[in-house]
Structure 1
């Protein structure tokens, strides 16, 4: 019997996180309020060794909808997402990361807001979750790995990251390979895409009920990792202005100027809190790092996160 084309393609990129992948995928199997006949899942494995192949095969055997495995051996998060999109068949694309676990009503909430708002991209909240063993800077780290937004569902005038989002394929500048390959190792490929879409008039929306848990790998649950990553996040808006065509010089200078002030003010606040042994100094240090990133976004200061060989 032939099957109707899917209405939503669920995409989970993964790279050497088998335990997290299983949690993420099984949370998709438990979705309510959406017909399984309208769904397909594409898991893209960005490990050159194809380490997730057998795990995905096992998950496919218990899935309520078709599961496709894609092996993208060329390292890089943009490569992985582009390969998954090329395989996906549906007009709507939902992204979930391999360190996230979706609530049972996650997809239904994204779809409801997309239909109500006619949005091109819908984003949902992320709730960072640290294990009980993490005590030092716990509140900061859980906040760092979280995403917050408006209490009410509806249109928004800005964008968030790709993890926990629903995209309308027809609104993408390239329906199969919209993520810039030059962002493979530095990240920000989703910011660049959404900035391009916004410049073309794309509509964004927020779905507060479409929440997911995020369980960072243990190596990321440290203040050092988070502050370096905050610096990288700060680079995003300045780099996006530099990458615009034509280059947005005014925006770039504006973000860099804001960054200087932000780094100076919150750097002083963080230093004062640290001297007073205040346990919340990490929050001010985060703001200072993001400000510094807005200013030092170019050349040797660009950070690399993705697609690198595993550490031994």
Structure 2
């Protein structure tokens, strides 16, 4: 039963009174010192968690330890901070390194571009307790302050996340950012995130697919708000449309992974209709530079992804590719 101590786990700081109640927050980071500082400041301001928050694990995923100074600024504040340098650049490697640095039975994930509301962690913990879910997700308010005004609403929706207005069990997972997981059931083994997804992302999709196959349950915590601040090198149509294309690839790739040929054909047919229909809408809107052009192009890109779903065509958003984008953004 999620939330209860396995027999092999000693009673103490990890399990008090037979209940697994200690949580660690893992914050992977890659060359975002300002974003990391904002994320850590929001964690230090968490309310109502008391000593349940055992530690905050900062995983510096740069080749050089560029986030050490930021992490050290917070080490003598409200909650303990553990700094980990993981030079193998990749999202799965970073998450696995964070897990290796803590034995907490409950694991929360916050990205380095997210700012947690003061009641964030308390809300996630309360929802996990009431629903018994293996993984709990919360809503995300997207922010793109540096984006062009006419596409900003689309971008902020793109980087945001919405769900039910009340706490509930839900029938599908979201991404790892802004989540709480029961380690024993959702994160089995020493390295549950597959490193083959280091560069493209999708490590959480694989994790949740395996959890679903084991009968895992997902919950939604309506009060567990975070703000996600999209940096300038991501807050643009070139980036989000490539992400939309990759999102579109997912159902076709999932069907192929099951060797469901009929499913692949179905999703490709759906994608063809979606691509044709939304392209017809997107073309005049783009020519006239109307605000709705971004959403229409997003839907067309998802349709194209359902058609061109082969793994070799998947865009890369993490690891070395993200370092290259950061280098370009830093160039004069």
- TM bucket (normalised to shorter chain) is over 0.9
After TM superposition, give the deviation of residue 171 of structure 1 in Å.
Answer: 1.1
Structure 1 equivalent of residue 298 of structure 2: 286
Structure 2 equivalent of residue 153 of structure 1: 167
Aligned-partner Cα distance in 2 for 1:248–1:40: 43
> Does residue 1:296 correspond to 2:305, yes or no?
no
> Does residue 1:204 correspond to 2:213, yes or no?
no
> Does residue 1:8 correspond to 2:23, yes or no?
yes
Task: Judge conservation of contact 2:23–2:52 (CA < 8 Å) in 1.
Answer: no
Aligned-partner Cα distance in 2 for 1:133–1:203: 37
After TM superposition, give the deviation of residue 86 of structure 1 in Å.
Answer: 1.4
CA distances 1:208-250 after superposition (whole Å, capped 9, x unpaired):
111100011111111121111111122223223334xx54444
After TM superposition, give the deviation of residue 117 of structure 1 in Å.
Answer: 0.6
> Does residue 1:40 correspond to 2:55, yes or no?
yes
Structure 1 equivalent of residue 268 of structure 2: 256
After alignment, is 105-114 or 5-14 more displaced? 5-14
> Does residue 1:143 correspond to 2:157, yes or no?
yes
After TM superposition, give the deviation of residue 61 of structure 1 in Å.
Answer: 2.2
After TM superposition, give the deviation of residue 97 of structure 1 in Å.
Answer: 0.3
After TM superposition, give the deviation of residue 275 of structure 1 in Å.
Answer: 4.0
Aligned-partner Cα distance in 1 for 2:250–2:172: 14
Task: Judge conservation of contact 1:122–1:204 (CA < 8 Å) in 2.
Answer: yes
Aligned-partner Cα distance in 2 for 1:105–1:229: 30
Q: 1:268 to 1:105 in 2, by over 3 A?
A: same
> Does residue 1:125 correspond to 2:134, yes or no?
no
Task: Judge conservation of contact 1:188–1:236 (CA < 8 Å) in 2.
Answer: no
> Does residue 1:49 correspond to 2:81, yes or no?
no
Q: 1:38 to 1:128 in 2, by over 3 A?
A: closer
CA distances 1:191-215 after superposition (whole Å, capped 9, x unpaired):
1111111121100011111110001
| RMSD between superposed Cα atoms in Å | 1.8
TM-score w.r.t. the length of structure 2 is 0.87
Structure 2 equivalent of residue 103 of structure 1: 117
Task: Judge conservation of contact 2:141–2:161 (CA < 8 Å) in 1.
Answer: yes
Task: Judge conservation of contact 2:270–2:303 (CA < 8 Å) in 1.
Answer: yes
In structure 1, the gaps of 5 or more residues are: none
Q: 1:80 is matched with which residue: 77, 83, 94?
A: 94
> Does residue 1:240 correspond to 2:249, yes or no?
no
SS at match of 1:194: helix
Q: 1:222 to 1:254 in 2, by over 3 A?
A: same
Aligned-partner Cα distance in 2 for 1:214–1:118: 27
